[in-house]
C-alpha cells in the first residue's frame, strides 16, 4: 500500500519515535495539547537552520496558545544533537523542542513525507494537530523555500477562534481587506434564516455576513 499523508479530520497516526528528548509516542505524548510537527530535508543545511531558529524564537508564542513543537528529518539522532549544538554555539539560540530522528524512514513513510523525485530527504511539511489528536491543517513547501512561521501561528489562532465561536475566518485575518478583524457568520441553511441575517449582522448579502468577536 502506497504511503500517503493523513487527511484533514483524521486521527493523527499512532507512531513511536526516537527524538533528541528521548523516545515518545505520538500523538499521546501531547495528550490534551495541540502540536505542530514539521519536517525538514536535512540537518546542517542553511534554509532548515533558519527555520529552526525562527520556530525557537516564537516558541513562547506557540506555548501561550497551548501548542507544542516537534521537528523531524531522516537524520540520525547524533546528527540532530550535533546540529543543535552548532546552532546554540554559533547562533546563540538553544532549540528547546524535540526533533525526531527518522533514520529508518518509517515515520516519514507513514506521513507521506518522502518525495519520489527528491531522493530520500523529507520534504518541508507542517502538520497541525489539535488537543484531541485530530489533524486540522497541512502545509506543504518545496525544499527551496523556507516556511513563514508567523503564518503557522496565525493559522492556529484562527482554528481556535473558529472552534470556540462557530465562525469562519476571512483571508489575512485579522487584517482582512473587507471586514478587518471581524469573523464570518456561517451561511444560512434555509430561507427563513437567510431573511433574518441582514437584520442580525453586518452583511454584503445574506450569504456573506460578518460580526465582531464577543
**Out of 48, 107, 129, 169, which one is annotated catalytic?**
48
| Contact residues for 158 (Cβ-Cβ < 8 A; gap 6+) | 169, 173
Report which of 88, 54, 94, 70 is spatially closest to residue 18, judged by C-alpha positions: 70
Report CA Rg, the chain.
Answer: 20
Q: Judge whether 209 counts as a catalytic residue.
A: no
Chain-centre distance for alpha carbon 171: 17
Question: CA quadruple 24, 26, 29, 34: dihedral positive or negative?
Answer: positive
> What DSSP letter does each residue of 112-162 carry, written as one string?
T-B-GGGTTPBPEEEEEE-TTSBEEEEEEE-TTS---HHHHHHHHHHHHHH
List residues with catalytic annotation: 48
Amino acid at each position: 500500500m502506497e504511503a500517503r499523508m493523513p487527511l484533514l479530520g483524521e486521527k493523527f497516526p499512532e507512531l513511536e519515535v526516537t527524538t533528541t528528548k528521548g523516545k515518545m509516542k505520538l500523538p499521546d505524548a501531547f495528550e490534551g495539547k495541540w502540536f505542530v510537527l514539521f519536517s525538514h530535508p536535512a540537518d546542517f543545511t542553511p534554509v532548515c537552520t533558519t527555520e529552526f531558529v525562527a520556530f525557537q524564537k516564537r516558541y513562547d508564542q506557540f506555548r501561550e496558545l497551548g501548542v507544542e513543537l516537534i521537528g523531524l528529518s531522516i537524520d540520525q539522532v547524533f546528527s540532530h544533537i550535533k546540529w543543535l549544538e552548532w546552532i546554540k554555539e554559533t547562533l546563540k539560540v538553544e532549540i528547546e523542542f524535540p526533533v525526531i530522528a527518522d533514520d529508518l524512514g518509517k515515520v516519514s513513510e507513514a506521513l507521506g513525507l518522502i518525495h519520489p523525485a527528491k531522493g530520500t530527504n523529507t520534504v518541508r511539511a507542517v502538520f497541525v494537530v489539535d488537543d484531541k489528536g485530530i489533524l486540522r491543517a497541512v502545509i506543504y513547501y518545496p525544499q527551496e523555500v523556507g516556511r513563514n512561521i508567523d503564518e503557522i501561528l496565525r493559522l492556529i489562532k484562527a482554528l481556535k477562534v473558529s472552534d470556540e465561536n462557530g465562525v469562519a475566518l476571512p483571508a489575512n485575518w485579522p487584517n482582512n481587506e473587507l471586514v478587518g478583524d471581524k469573523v464570518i457568520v456561517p451561511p444560512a441553511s434555509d430561507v427563513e434564516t437567510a431573511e433574518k441575517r441582514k437584520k442580525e449582522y453586518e452583511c454584503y448579502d445574506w450569504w456573506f455576513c460578518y460580526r465582531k468577536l464577543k
